[in-house]
């Protein structure tokens, strides 16, 4: 039997449950579909009341339409910390149950308030709380069932559910908005997510006392970057490597978040003369979700072989080139080249969400991963200020070109720093 089959069935049930939870939490990656419907059309001023199915709502500026997305991401990151404490102390089912209730209530509140404030409080704050609590429950639970030689793959599978959520959420949101309006879309998905997350969360389990994860096969290569000792959050905060990982997270995540926040609008701008894509601009967000999820599993797999640092650099260099090329690609109107270019950024972003928890476990051990990764995950929340700044640039200049160039530069800086990061040497 191969190394994968040596893990108990319960380990794979937990992994699958974690994927199911994340496939609901990943509504954040479908935000560009809602944003496209919230933005004031050309010739219409922000603040103008909507009509038809969306009567009661008002159109927003690009900056305002990005705030709920940014606040959700930052709140998500902040609540990974208490979420990690809940996971480490009470187990993953408690966190997952609270997550389902918070996310469901947040989406329903956003829909019923029909306002910018409702989006911020419901989707941004309450939804972000749910995402933080749920995300902190799913990954550590699965990681503890497997040995370090499979850490990248298992993390990639679990967080791949989050990345892949846009594959179905984007078209579903488009359909619900067209049939039920903005309010109906938020309320329907809120109920659905609450039911699925709470149900799937009951299958999350930590290994029983005395459980030993399957050992690596004799042919597996051990990486010098993996520690055999578990470190506490306090010990982690005393190392410069923690702050380095924080910056690597900011520098690498912001690139994908910038594209995710604007995917539908980017395709609208590129495909002005292609009727099919102009009418189905959600396709780029859905395609991005597929590549995002694939990038998590793929990067997690080859990072187990070539190391986290090399995988980070490989993904990052390709994405940096794509970001610098993106303004020209959009201007060219070449939709197929756009999908290729954006796909590179999505893969890199997905890879980051696979690499960072595995990197954290490599440096500080898996026992306290819930809280330790929650602290490192703050970098992801900080990264949301980049797409928010891009919205301000767009409102001021009419273009996101400068934002793409700045994003590429920041990612390049993160790649440079990654070459100097090594596992902490504790006394």
To the nearest 10 degrees (0 to 180), the angle between helices 308-332 and 401-418 is 170
CA gap 61, 63 in Å, rounded: 5
Instruction: Give me the numbers of helices (H) and strands (E) for the chain, helices first please.
Output: 17, 0
pLDDT of residue 249: 95
Is it the case that residue 284 has pLDDT exceeding 60? Answer: yes
Residue 286: both structure tokens together = 């859905």
Which residues does residue 101 pair with via DSSP β-bridges, in sequence order? none
CA gap 54, 111 in Å, rounded: 10
Band of residue 224 on the pLDDT scale cut at 50, 70, 90: very low
For 386, other C-beta atoms within 10 Å of its C-beta total 21
Is it the case that residue 253 has pLDDT exceeding 70? Answer: yes
Q: Which one, of 99, 151, 93, 87, lies nearest residue 126 by Cα?
A: 99
Band of residue 319 on the pLDDT scale cut at 50, 70, 90: very high
Q: Which one, of 168, 159, 198, 192, lies nearest residue 22 by Cα?
A: 159
Q: Give the tens place of pLDDT for each residue, 377-391.
A: 889 889 988 888 888
3-state secondary structure of 400: coil
CA angle 425, 79, 299 (to 5 degrees): 55
Band of residue 413 on the pLDDT scale cut at 50, 70, 90: very high
pLDDT of residue 2: 43
Q: What percent of the chain has pLDDT over 90?
A: 40
CA gap 20, 102 in Å, rounded: 17
Half-sphere exposure of 231 toward its Cβ, with a 13 Å CA cutoff? 24
Band of residue 322 on the pLDDT scale cut at 50, 70, 90: very high
CA gap 153, 357 in Å, rounded: 11
- Residue 98 phi, psi dihedral angles, 5° rounding: -60, -35
CA angle 151, 253, 124 (to 5 degrees): 105
Q: How large is the C-alpha radius of gyration of the chain?
A: 21
Is it the case that residue 203 has pLDDT exceeding 90? Answer: yes
Band of residue 111 on the pLDDT scale cut at 50, 70, 90: very high
Write down all domains in the chain, each with its CATH number in brackets. 12-212+225-418 (1.20.1250.20)
More confident call, 284 vs 131? 131
Range with lowest mean pLDDT among 124-128, 223-227, 349-353: 223-227
Alpha helices in 26-126 (DSSP H): 31-38, 62-90, 92-113, 116-118
CA gap 197, 169 in Å, rounded: 15
Q: Which one, of 378, 392, 402, 287, lies nearest residue 66 by Cα?
A: 392
Q: Which one, of 88, 69, 186, lies nearest residue 133 by Cα?
A: 88
Q: How far is CA 232 from CA 80, 133, 185, 268, 368, in A?
A: 16, 20, 42, 47, 6
**pLDDT (mean) for 160-189:** 88
**pLDDT (mean) for 82-101:** 90
Residue 334: both structure tokens together = 């070449």
pLDDT of residue 281: 66
pLDDT of residue 3: 44
Q: How far is CA 33 from CA 27, 88, 174, 214, 393, in A?
A: 10, 35, 7, 43, 20
For residues 166 and 25, is the Cβ–Cβ distance under 8 A? no
Residue 298: DSSP 8-state: H
CA gap 54, 137 in Å, rounded: 36
Residue 238, C-beta contacts closer than 8 angstroms, at least 6 positions apart: none
Residue carrying structure tokens 């469901």? 104
CA gap 329, 82 in Å, rounded: 42
For residues 276 and 340, is the Cβ–Cβ distance under 8 A? no
Averaged pLDDT score across all residues of the chain: 86
For residues 265 and 32, is the Cβ–Cβ distance under 8 A? yes
Range with lowest mean pLDDT among 44-53, 117-126, 147-156, 408-417: 147-156
For residues 153 and 300, is the Cβ–Cβ distance under 8 A? yes
3-state secondary structure of 49: strand
Band of residue 226 on the pLDDT scale cut at 50, 70, 90: low
């Amino acid at each position: 039997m191969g190394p994968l089959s040596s893990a108990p069935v319960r380990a794979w049930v937990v992994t699958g449950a974690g994927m199911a939870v994340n496939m609901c939490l990943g509504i954040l990656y479908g935000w560009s579909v809602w944003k496209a419907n919230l933005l004031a059309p050309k010739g219409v001023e922000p603040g103008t009341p909507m009509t038809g199915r969306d009567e009661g709502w008002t159109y927003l500026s690009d900056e305002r339409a990005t705030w709920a997305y940014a606040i959700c991401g930052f709140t998500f990151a902040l609540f990974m910390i208490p979420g990690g404490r809940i996971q480490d102390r009470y187990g993953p089912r408690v966190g997952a149950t609270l997550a389902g209730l918070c996310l469901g209530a947040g989406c329903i509140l956003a829909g019923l308030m029909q306002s910018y404030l409702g989006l911020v409080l419901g989707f941004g704050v309450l939804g972000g709380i749910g995402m933080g609590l749920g995300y902190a429950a799913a990954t550590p639970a699965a990681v503890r069932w497997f040995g370090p030689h499979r850490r990248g793959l298992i993390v990639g599978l679990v967080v791949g559910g989050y990345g892949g959520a846009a594959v179905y959420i984007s078209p579903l949101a488009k359909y619900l908005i067209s049939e039920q309006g903005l309010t109906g879309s938020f309320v329907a998905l809120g109920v659905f997510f609450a039911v699925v997350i709470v149900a799937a969360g009951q299958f999350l389990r930590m290994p029983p006392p005395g459980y030993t994860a399957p050992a690596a096969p004799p042919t597996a290569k051990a990486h010098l970057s993996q520690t055999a000792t578990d470190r506490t959050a306090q010990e982690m905060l005393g190392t410069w490597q923690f702050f380095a990982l924080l910056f690597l997270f900011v520098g690498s995540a912001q690139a994908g978040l910038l594209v995710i926040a604007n995917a539908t609008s980017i395709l609208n701008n590129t495909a002005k003369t292609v009727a099919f894509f102009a009418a189905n601009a959600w396709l780029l967000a859905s395609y991005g979700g597929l590549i995002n999820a694939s990038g998590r599993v793929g990067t997690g797999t080859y990072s187990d072989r070539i190391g986290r640092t090399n995988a980070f650099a490989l993904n990052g260099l390709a994405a940096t080139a794509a970001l610098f090329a993106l303004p020209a690609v959009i201007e060219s109107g070449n939709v197929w080249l756009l999908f290729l270019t954006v796909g590179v950024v999505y893969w890199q972003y997905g890879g980051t969400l696979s690499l960072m928890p595995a990197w954290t476990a490599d440096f500080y051990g898996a026992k306290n991963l819930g809280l330790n990764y929650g602290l490192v995950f703050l970098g992801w929340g900080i990264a949301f200020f980049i797409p928010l700044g891009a919205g301000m640039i767009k409102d001021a200049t009419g273009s996101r070109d400068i934002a793409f160039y700045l994003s590429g530069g920041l990612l390049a800086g993160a790649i440079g720093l990654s070459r100097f990061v090594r596992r902490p040497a504790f006394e």
